[in-house]
Amino acid sequence: MEAGTEAGAEAEESGLRSGPGAVGPAPRVRARDRARTRRLWVAGALVVGALVLLVVEGLGSATVYFKTADEAVASRAQLGTRRFRIEGLVVDRSVQELSHGEISFTIESNGTRVPVVHTGEQPALFRPNIPVVLEGHFAGDVYRSDRILVKHSASYVARHPERVTVPTPPPAP
């Protein structure tokens, strides 16, 4: 037997062919590194979890409910201590300065009164008999506010047009 045919016979016995059209041995494939794959999955899950948390927290903070004083009192149990906005008219002679930069006052809407304790800045236009929107939460029977937004009613706009920019409606088509 010749050397070339002897190698071919050994190759045929082992299942390998030689010659034209023969398929060589399969390339060696490196086994996957399981620890590396696991680390990538854990890192991906952490990134997705962080994004979900940011979206949920962001939407929760951005979604501040607006209720009139009577609606808020009626749904106090469902609101609990969650932040929301409450709207009402500041009751005359109810504003009192407290210690530590706090003020207390009462707001009213549709005959329902809500006592308020506010901590923080007060707008220059804040005074009795004006409509306000407050941001905060219930703490027992008292609404704890940390932000006051003064609503500019139509009568205010009529008395002080230079202080308010009223959008003009678009022309009719």
CATH of the domain at 150: 2.40.50.140
Task: Indicate whether 46 belongs to any domain.
Answer: no
Confidence band for 73, pLDDT divided at 50, 70 and 90: very high
Confidence band for 143, pLDDT divided at 50, 70 and 90: very high
Lowest mean pLDDT among 13-27, 61-75, 107-121: 13-27
Task: Indicate whether 41 belongs to any domain.
Answer: no
How close are the terminal C-alpha atoms of the chain, in Å? Answer: 101
The percentage of residues in the chain with a pLDDT greater than 90, rounded to a whole number, is 36
Structural domain range at position 111: 65-163
Task: Indicate whether 48 belongs to any domain.
Answer: no
Task: Indicate whether 75 belongs to any domain.
Answer: yes
Task: Indicate whether 6 belongs to any domain.
Answer: no
Q: DSSP 3-state assignment of 25?
A: coil
Residues in the chain: 173
Task: Indicate whether 38 belongs to any domain.
Answer: no
For residue 86, pLDDT over 90 is answered with: yes
Task: Indicate whether 1 belongs to any domain.
Answer: no
Domain count, the chain: 1
Mean pLDDT within 54-72? 76
Task: Indicate whether 40 belongs to any domain.
Answer: no
User: For residue 172, what are the CA distances in angstroms to 110, 166, 167?
Assistant: 36, 18, 15
Query: Is the CB of residue 114 less than 8 Å from the CB of residue 139?
Result: no
Q: DSSP 3-state assignment of 91?
A: coil
Nearest to 15 by CA among 31, 30, 26: 26
